[in-house]
A and B are shown apart, each in its own frame.
Chain A
Amino acid sequence: AQSVTQLGSHVSVSEGALVLLRCNYSSSVPPYLFWYVQYPNQGLQLLLKYTSAATLVKGINGFEAEFKKSETSFHLTKPSAHMSDAAEYFCAVSRNSRGNEKLTFGTGTRLTIIP
Chain B
Amino acid sequence: DAGVIQSPRHEVTEMGQEVTLRCKPISGHDYLFWYRQTMMRGLELLIYFNNNVPIDDSGMPEDRFSAKMPNASFSTLKIQPSEPRDSAVYFCASSLETGNYGYTFGSGTRLTVV
Residues of A within 8 A of B (CB): 34, 41-46, 49, 51, 90, 97-100, 102-108
| B103 contact set on A, CB distance < 8 A | 44, 46, 99, 103
16 CB contacts below 8 A, A to B, read: A43-B91, A43-B93, A43-B105, A44-B103, A44-B105, A46-B101, A46-B102, A90-B43, A98-B98, A99-B97, A99-B102, A102-B45, A102-B56, A104-B45, A105-B42, A105-B43
Which chain A residue lies CB-closest to B50? A100
| Contact with B97, one of A34, A49, A98, A103 (Cβ below 8 angstroms) | A98
| A104 contact set on B, CB distance < 8 A | 45
A97 to B95 Cα, complex, angstroms: 11
Chain A min CB distance to B31 (Å): 6
B99 touches A44 (CB 8 A): no
Chain B min CB distance to A25 (Å): 15
A interface, over-half SS: loop
| B30 contact set on A, CB distance < 8 A | 99-100
A42 to B105 Cα, complex, angstroms: 9
Chain B min CB distance to A3 (Å): 11
A49 to B103 Cα, complex, angstroms: 12
Known: A44-B91, A90-B43. A102 touches B105 (CB 8 A): no
| A34 contact set on B, CB distance < 8 A | 102
| A107 contact set on B, CB distance < 8 A | 42
B107 touches A51 (CB 8 A): no
Q: Which residues between 54 and 78 of chain B lie within 8 Å of chain A, taking CB atoms?
A: 56
| A106 contact set on B, CB distance < 8 A | 42
A108 to B38 Cα, complex, angstroms: 11
A49 to B107 Cα, complex, angstroms: 21
B107 touches A97 (CB 8 A): no
